[in-house]
Amino acid sequence: MSPLDLLVAVPLCCMAAALLLGRAARGLILLAAPLMAGLALWLALLPPDAAYLVGQWELPLGILLRADGVARLMILATALVIGAVGLHALVEPPEKPGHAAQAETFWPLVYLLWAGANAGFLTTDLFNLYVTLEMVSLAAVALAAMGSLAAALRYFMIALLGSLAYLLGVALIVARYDTVDVTLLAQLAEPDLATLMALGLMTAGLLIKAALFPMHGWLPPAHAAAPAPASALLSAIAVKLGFVILVRLWFEAFPAITGPAALQVLGGLGAAAVLYGSVQAMRQDRLKALVAYSTVAQVGYLFLAFPLVAGAIDPGDAWAGMTLQAVAHMLAKAAMFLAAGLMLKAAAGERIADLGGLAQAMPLTVTAFGLAAVSLMGLPPSGGFTAKFLLLTAAIEQGAYLYAGVLILGGLLAAVYLFGALAACFAPATTPRTPVTGGLRTAAPLALAGLAIVMGFGGTALVELSAIAAPWAGPALILPEPAP
Amino acid sequence: MMTFAPLALILLPLAAAVVSFALPERLSAWRNAANLGVACVKLVVVTYLLMQAEAGLVFEWRYEFLPGHDFVLRLDPLALLFVTLSVFLWLLTTIYAIAYFDRGPNLPRFFGFFNLCVLAATGVAMSGTAITFFLFYELLTLATWPLVAHKGDEKSLRAGRIYLTYTLAGSVAFLAGILWLQSLVGPIEFATPPDLAGVPALTLTLIFILCIGGLGVKAAIFPFHGWLPEAMAAPAPVSALLHAVAVVKAGAFGIVRMIYDVYGIGTVAELGLGVPLAALASVTILYGSVRALMQSDLKKRLAYSTVSQVSYIVLGASLIGPFAVIGGLVHLVHQGIMKITLFMCAGALANRMGIKAIADLDGAGRQMPVTMAAFSVGALGMIGMPPVAGFISKWYLGIGALQSDAAWVVAVLAGSSLLNAAYFLPLLYRAWLLPPPADRPAIRELATTRDRMLILPAALTALVSLGAGIFASLPFSPLGWATLIAEGGYLR
Amino acid sequence: MTADLTLLLPLAVLWPMLLAGLALLPGWGPRMLMLLPLGPLPALAAALFAPRDTPVALPGVLLDGGLDLTATGAIFLGGAAVLWFWAGVYAAVYLRRDGRPAAFALFWNLVLAGNLGVFIAADIVSFYVFFALVSLLAYPLVIHDRQPASMRAGTVYLVLAVTGEVAILVGLMLASFGAGGAIGIEAVRAGLALPSAHPAALPLLIVGFGIKAGLMPLHVWLPVAHPAAPVPASAVLSGAIVKAGIFGMVAFLPLGTPAAVAGNVLTILGFSGLFLAALLAVGQAGAKSVLAYSTVSQMGLVMGVLGVALAAGSAPATVLPAVALFALHHGLAKGALFLGVGLAPLCGRAWRWGLMAVLAVLGLSLAGMPLLAGALVKSAMKDPAGALGAVLIGLSALTTALAMARYLAVLPKAKPRRRPPLLMALPFLALAGAALWLPWLLYADVTGKSPLAADLASKLAEAWPLGLAVLLIAGAVAVGLKPPALPEGDALGPVQRRAAALTAAARAALRAGSRSLRRSRPRKQAVIGEDLDRIEDIFREGAAAAILLLAIAGAVVAASLI
Amino acid sequence: MDLPLSDILSAGHLYALTGAVLVGLGLYAFITQRHPLRQLLAVNVVGAGIFLILGSLGRGPDATDPFPQALVITGIVVAVALTAFGAAMIVRQAETRAAAKPAADDNARGAS
């Protein structure tokens, strides 16, 4: 037994149990959340070279699970996010009025998402990654369908397209190298047309999953319409898997054949996403749509980091910045969606202008929203700041002033739209508000947002964690000493 | 234990903030007690530290928050100057705020953010590295925003928006500047200024412009001053705090750090950056005064006066001469004490008698003599009339300007004094010499405890600003301390 | 013993401040009004007994300030103390039914402290503090009765006082810097004499002190402000407070080193003030205005002499004693004359004649009637005034006499059967006596010459302008000639009107300018917004996703091939 | 590049080429068709093409490589599951539309 396989097995078991138990499955989260959090923590504290071979098959056929820094951080964050969201959903079931059955379908999907995400973070096998990608997509589409069927369907179609593009790429890789293991590919890869086409197809497909501009079209309707806990999971976790697989592809499998120009394509799209997402977010008058577009912008930072990581002499800082941006966004965005859900429940309507009086009626929830906003804007002290700080430092050191400018401008634009929403909470109420607060409801977003802030204080530890078994530090699985 | 002293100064207001947020409104007495208690404890700690610092001890606490980037809290004499000022004024503002709001809505929130502001201002003062400075500087922005928007009406929200727009833009410019510099010379510690020898002059100039531009937003340097008069929509204790201590001072303080502890006066002089900055500060001084003259709202007039006065600090710092830097530093304190007096008085007038416009001031002196007396002292100090403290600042700035071969600055000071007189003296004239309107009810100024809590802090700061002027050359006077700082660090 | 007596100096300024503080106590106003005469007593003691040229350091105060009593300063201090004392006695009676006793007592004592402090400050910062005190806080005294005319006068006073303050401040800064950062008055004055001194320092100081002392084109506030105040306040304003400006010049003009330009300008302005102001006095309708112009005239004389000495580089010792003596006489006499204005309505019948007689003697003394103290001090002034100056001083007897005659002519009419109260008459007589006696007493001490040195005949011969004046006055009375009616503050009215028009124009321009700036541009946001919506709709289509997918895959491949 | 057609076919390239054609056709249909059901079918055609390509890879000259085969089987399972899921959603959507005729939730901006 090892935490690596337990982290996948436990959620799968929970999913099965939830399917069987039906309505009674809600309580399961009380067990699963601490258990998974403990496992994730265990994983984080494992020695650097931890790996696990499922079913004792040798490498080309067996399933290797291994935990590098990125995986550890992402899994820990996933456990925290799903745990908190789950506890929140326990008292605030994600259902539309009159759709009581929805709450039943919610729980198995959560566990499916959890298992898929964890497996995806841990595995380095391109085909297994495809499977996990589909697990996550399936769960995500179903979660989105809890809000708007039409949006979910659109999401489904586009996501399916992405999956197939990825699969086609995998097929080409198999044809060319007869292996799908990332570590083996790193040694074999050659910059021929087949490999490049495979890389291009996989990248494009994954960008759909990661909702990078201009392939983000499915995200805002789906995320904005879903019930708050579902939105939180979608924005926090579902899009991150695509990102992590891209990291595996570009920095672990094919670092030798990805030229600077190709990296600039991703970086450029990332920069465009930051600006475009921010501008669109500024234009929204509904709170959840705003938060959803904020995700579009935040995803941009992740890809903006690609050329910075590749271009750095010592990529540790940029790498950590990229990873921490993903983690900080997970925590903050989940917190923000949960808080927004509570706020909209108390407000007169779903528009930002309807939020008046909430700062007075439910200060803690608004605080959670505000703290999450601080992290998303990249204001200190917060995980978002630490990440942006590292990226900005890298950008300036490399003379990448365009990216530096986008990083700065993106933060400002985020401030514009997020503070706009916050300010609306301070406006006087047009009608008396009945606050939706208390207990886990409010505690969950507050805890997540608090964690996003606390991340700002533990920068050194997080940077060291992110560097475990990082591809730039040496050959994979032959692991360096942790940084002093 | 003593290395934790700087940390304690950060944690104490944090504790007060948590208590303020957590306690419900019906326990407001406990909240008030906690706020006052923490403020008093801080005052004691700072007094103790002052005595230690006089003996030459420097306290430092550091923590590596990112690899290669230390979070450093360092209590050098310059930090102590600002810390002492903020701690002292905060105690008074807390008393004042408790009386001012009495039983208003949203007070847990107010006092919570209020304490976060203390935290941030103290942190700004104690920052030992550029990044630490930025952290607290940004925190200050965030913590003051809810205070500016506190009332929640359209005007306040607008003010909050404008405030954020300006200050966030400023802080990213500052961040870009310091990161750029760090990418060239490594982490910047104020205690050990970086070696800039290998950096091209043009780059240094650009970085300087970025940083000063960023800091200048908070210091309300023309043309970045637009947020400050708007922020007048905030309640009086906040205005007092924004204008006298926390925000504008943080900007000015940062500029002093930039010039003296990052670039060093040698480099600044070499690059020829001092004179343009001084010119900009001079423009601000005159522009702010002229605009103040055109205002008809009392707080707005005070706000433009702040725009003008804060630039004295920048002026002093940018002139790069022993007397000028003393003048700038001492004005940091003097302006704080005098301006907080003015704002607390303005708030008391509005609170007790509903006086907001200048035209309503008629006869206020007869009805609230103590308040108006304090106001008068503050106003005369702003004009630079001796023996109020403002005179000492102007004196040092003037001599400093002459030492730096910038006699034109003296003309600026003179013009500013005249303009100050032109916009303050009519206020005093109205308050003392014109009869109050017939329909204003008579009040007893110091009838209840609440009234006394509202008015006596201002009276005390007025006395302090008199004392700081009259006893300027005592060792622990602001001037004495500023001289100590200058001699210890900047006149080498 | 000496150590104790030096403490009289700080006491001289602290004591009135303490009294001022007591006036703030609720209900103590009338009481403190009664105690006004107590204020200057320590200063008087200091002037008499404190050791000369023994600085008292006040560590920690201001910029480590100090106090010092020079021989010249002692005369100024003593004269001011006497004047303030008797004016205080007078005020206690004159204002006993006043509505604002506390305010009067407060500012009276504060101005007193400032006025005395100016004479004993040892460093420029203390000096400036005291000067500002006396200068700015005299404003409440000017406007004490709150009449519209007083308020207008007060405004004019304040504007010029503040301007003067700023000029002095800048001048002192420049001077102190020129003296290597020294703040001692002696050192600063020495610094002003150096060739390296900033060229603007001396002119600024002259302008600043000149405003206070009524130097001719800057005198406009004086004839409006002095008459506006209550009688005792007018007396100290004209008698003592104006001397602060004179003392400023005494303290800071670098006598002993020729300064041609500044000296000549000061000479010209001073002497033209001497004559012009006296002639303007003749055209005044109010007794106090006449006296105020007379003050301008007399101070013009002092400044003219100082200017001559400055230009010539005369040693301070040859100039300052004479100036001090002149100031002493003028202060006391002018004080008595002002008090006389207040007494006049109260003196019926015989009292009237007595009053007129004393006033006439005082007037003649001011004009330089031989054997009177005024002639004595004028003769002392002729030495440093140079040849031309001496002639001008002699001629000034004519204009002064005319002004004094005018004063007597416009003195308020007495109400019948009124007797002046003792405590108002006594100060008047005491001041008159002191004015006529003290110069004689001090002449030898101060100038080192016997007051009776020159022979009587030559003095009488020099008095011909006075005789001419008498003839002119007699003639004018005989033919019923009336002087022209001139407004108080001569050039002030037109200047004020111009300034008001300019201000209004500037305001209008600014307002128009800001309005045009605020005019908003047409908003394009909505149009751009629609475009953004359309773009977003495209991205949401599956078809677009497919095409973009191919495009991005192609882009990655292409970019990798580069 | 003058490979005779037989060579291409014998090397198993026929399957791969057919797969490629299928992928192209599917993509074309996906882009041109708007109805979700048709899009779902189009995606399935693409999927079939990819599986054909993958399957053809296992065909060696003498032995069959099990690895691509394993991938194809897994892939087909996943594809079937997803297709079923998609079809279920389309049906559900049609039902909802039928139930609430005028409430067309598809044309609303943003979320629905």
Strand partners, B64: B70
Q: Does residue C453 lie within any of the structural domains? A: yes
3-state secondary structure C434-492: HHHHHHHHHHHHHHCCCCCCCCHHHHHHHCHHHHHHHHHHHHHHHHCCCCCCCCCCCCH
Which range of residues forms the domain containing residue C546? 525-562
Closest to B217 measured CA to CA, from B113, B209, B287: B209
Q: Does residue A481 lie within any of the structural domains? A: no
Reported as a single tens digit per residue, the pLDDT across A35-72 is 999 999 988 888 877 777 666 555 555 677 888 888 99
Closest Cβ opposite residue A145 in set D57, D82, D89: D89
Number of domains in chain A: 2
- The domain limits of chain D are 5-99
Same domain, C345 and C461: yes
Neighbour-count burial of A155, counting CB atoms closer than 10 A to its CB (0-12 exposed, 13-18 middle, 19+ buried): buried
Q: In the structure, what pLDDT confidence band is assigned to residue C526 with cuts at 50, 70 and 90?
A: low
Q: Which residues lie below 8 Å from residue B148, measured CB to CB, with a gap of 6+?
A: B156, B159, B160, B163, B231, B233, B234, B238, B242
For the domain made up of D5-99, give the CATH fold. Helix Hairpins (1.10.287)
Same domain, C478 and C535: no
Reported as a single tens digit per residue, the pLDDT across A191-237 is 888 889 899 999 999 999 999 988 888 889 888 888 889 999 999 99
Q: Does residue C62 lie within any of the structural domains? A: yes
Q: How many CB atoms lie within 10 A of CB A285?
A: 12
Closest Cβ opposite residue A191 in set C549, C554, C560: C560
> Cβ of A166 under 8 Å from any chain D Cβ?
no
pLDDT for the residue C284: 83
Contact indicator for B443, B352 with CB cutoff of 8 Å:
yes
Strand partners, B63: B71
Contact indicator for A281, A224 with CB cutoff of 8 Å:
no
Instruction: Give backbone dihedrals phi and psi of C487, rounded to 5 degrees, phi first.
Output: -70, 150
Q: Does residue C276 lie within any of the structural domains? A: yes
Q: What is the mean pLDDT of residues A338-354?
A: 85
Reported as a single tens digit per residue, the pLDDT across B274-283 is 888 999 999 9
Q: What 8-state DSSP symbol labels residue B487?
A: I
Is the sign of the CA dihedral C536, C540, C541, C546 positive or negative?
positive
Q: Which of residues 133 through 192 in chain C touch B, CB cutoff 8 A? A: 133, 136, 143, 146, 151, 158, 162-163, 165-167, 169-170, 173-174, 176-177, 181
Closest residue of chain A to D49, computed from CA coordinates:
A168
> Cβ of D31 under 8 Å from any chain C Cβ?
yes
Q: In the structure, what pLDDT confidence band is assigned to residue A323 with cuts at 50, 70 and 90?
A: very high
Distance separating alpha carbons of residues A23 and A25, to the nearest angstrom: 5
Contact indicator for C342, C94 with CB cutoff of 8 Å:
yes
Which range of residues forms the domain containing residue A292? 259-473
A479 has pLDDT over 50: no
Q: Does residue A170 lie within any of the structural domains? A: yes
> Cβ of D28 under 8 Å from any chain A Cβ?
no
**B258 by DSSP, 3-state: which?**
helix
> Cβ of A423 under 8 Å from any chain B Cβ?
yes
D86 with A156: Cβ contact below 8 A:
yes
Q: What 8-state DSSP symbol labels residue A181?
A: B
Encoded tokens for C199: 């060229």
What residue spans of C368-421 are helical by DSSP H? 373-410
Same domain, A251 and A271: no
Same domain, A242 and A284: no
Residue D48 carries which side chain, given as an amino acid letter? A
Reported as a single tens digit per residue, the pLDDT across C309-358 is 888 888 888 888 888 888 988 999 999 988 888 888 887 777 888 888 88
- Virtual CA dihedral for A329, A333, A334, A340, nearest 10 degrees? 170
Instruction: Kindly list the residues from chain A whose CB atom is less than 8 angstroms away from the CB atom of residue B160.
Output: 419, 423, 426
Instruction: Kindly list the residues from chain A whose CB atom is less than 8 angstroms away from the CB atom of residue D67.
Output: 60-61, 174, 178
Subunits with 3+ C-beta pairs closer than 8 A to C: A, B, D
> Cβ of A360 under 8 Å from any chain B Cβ?
yes
Distance separating alpha carbons of residues B139 and B80, to the nearest angstrom: 20
A423 with B160: Cβ contact below 8 A:
yes
Residue C146 C-beta-side C-alpha neighbours within 13 Å: 11
Q: Which residues lie below 8 Å from residue C418, measured CB to CB, with a gap of 6+?
A: C345, C346, C347, C348, C351
pLDDT for the residue D104: 46
Strand partners, A52: A65
Q: Average pLDDT for consecutive 10-residue bins of chain B (492 residues)?
A: 75 86 81 87 86 78 83 86 87 87 78 87 89 88 84 82 87 89 86 84 90 89 85 81 77 89 86 88 91 87 89 88 86 89 89 84 85 91 86 88 86 89 88 82 79 87 89 81 76 48
What DSSP string describes A193-250? HHHHHHHHHHHHHHHHHHT-TTS-TTHHHHHHHS-HHHHHHIIIIIHHHHHHHHHIII
> Cβ of A95 under 8 Å from any chain D Cβ?
no
Contact indicator for B3, B60 with CB cutoff of 8 Å:
yes
Q: In the structure, what pLDDT confidence band is assigned to residue D111 with cuts at 50, 70 and 90?
A: very low
Neighbour-count burial of C323, counting CB atoms closer than 10 A to its CB (0-12 exposed, 13-18 middle, 19+ buried): buried
Q: Which residues lie below 8 Å from residue C274, measured CB to CB, with a gap of 6+?
A: C297, C298, C300, C301, C304, C392, C396, C399
Encoded tokens for B17: 């903030």
Encoded tokens for A109: 């999907």
Q: Does residue C506 lie within any of the structural domains? A: no
C195 has pLDDT over 60: yes
> Cβ of C125 under 8 Å from any chain B Cβ?
yes
Instruction: Kindly list the residues from chain C whose CB atom is less than 8 angstroms away from the CB atom of residue D31.
Output: 542-543, 546-547
Better-scored residue on pLDDT, C456 or B225: B225
What's chain A's average pLDDT?
Answer: 85
Same domain, A275 and A291: yes
Same domain, A246 and A275: no
Is the sign of the CA dihedral B28, B29, B30, B31 positive or negative?
positive
Q: Does residue A468 lie within any of the structural domains? A: yes
> Cβ of D109 under 8 Å from any chain C Cβ?
yes
Number of domains in chain C: 2
Is the sign of the CA dihedral B56, B59, B64, B65 positive or negative?
negative
C92 has pLDDT over 90: no
Q: Which residues lie below 8 Å from residue C54, measured CB to CB, with a gap of 6+?
A: C2, C6, C68, C69
Same domain, C437 and C486: yes
Residue with tokens 């895959």: C553
What's chain C's average pLDDT?
Answer: 82
Instruction: Kindly list the residues from chain A whose CB atom is less than 8 angstroms away from the CB atom of residue D90.
Output: 153
Q: Does residue C466 lie within any of the structural domains? A: yes
Encoded tokens for C192: 């002003």
Residue with tokens 């379908």: A105
Same domain, C59 and C201: yes
Contact indicator for C111, C133 with CB cutoff of 8 Å:
yes
Strand partners, D59: D64
Same domain, C15 and C79: yes
Contact indicator for C147, C121 with CB cutoff of 8 Å:
no
Instruction: Give backbone dihedrals phi and psi of A358, rounded to 5 degrees, phi first.
Output: -75, -30
Same domain, C184 and C80: yes
pLDDT for the residue D16: 80
Better-scored residue on pLDDT, A245 or B7: A245
* Longest CA–CA separation in chain D, Å: 63
Strand partners, C169: none
Show which of A220, A255, A290 is a domain's final residue: A255
Instruction: Give backbone dihedrals phi and psi of B64, rounded to 5 degrees, phi first.
Output: -85, 100
Closest residue of chain D to C539, computed from CA coordinates:
D110
Q: What is the mean pLDDT of residues A431-455?
A: 82
**Strand pairing report for C66-67 and C56-57:** antiparallel
Same domain, A352 and A218: no
Same domain, C284 and C234: yes
A481 has pLDDT over 50: no
Distance separating alpha carbons of residues B486 and C12, to the nearest angstrom: 36
- The domain limits of chain B are 1-272, 276-492
Q: Does residue C14 lie within any of the structural domains? A: yes
Q: How many CB atoms lie within 10 A of CB A263?
A: 21
Same domain, A232 and A287: no
Closest Cβ opposite residue A168 in set D50, D74, D85: D50
Contact indicator for B465, B337 with CB cutoff of 8 Å:
yes
Classify the phi-psi angles of B405: left when phi > 0, otherwise alpha if psi is within -120 to 50, otherwise beta: left
- Virtual CA dihedral for C191, C196, C198, C204, nearest 10 degrees? 40
Q: Do chains D and B touch (3 or more CB pairs under 8 A)?
A: no
pTM for the whole structure: 0.84
> Cβ of B398 under 8 Å from any chain C Cβ?
yes
A478 has pLDDT over 80: no
> Cβ of B67 under 8 Å from any chain A Cβ?
yes
Better-scored residue on pLDDT, A453 or A100: A453
Q: Does residue C508 lie within any of the structural domains? A: no
> Cβ of D48 under 8 Å from any chain A Cβ?
no
Angle CA A303–A309–A313, to nearest 5: 160
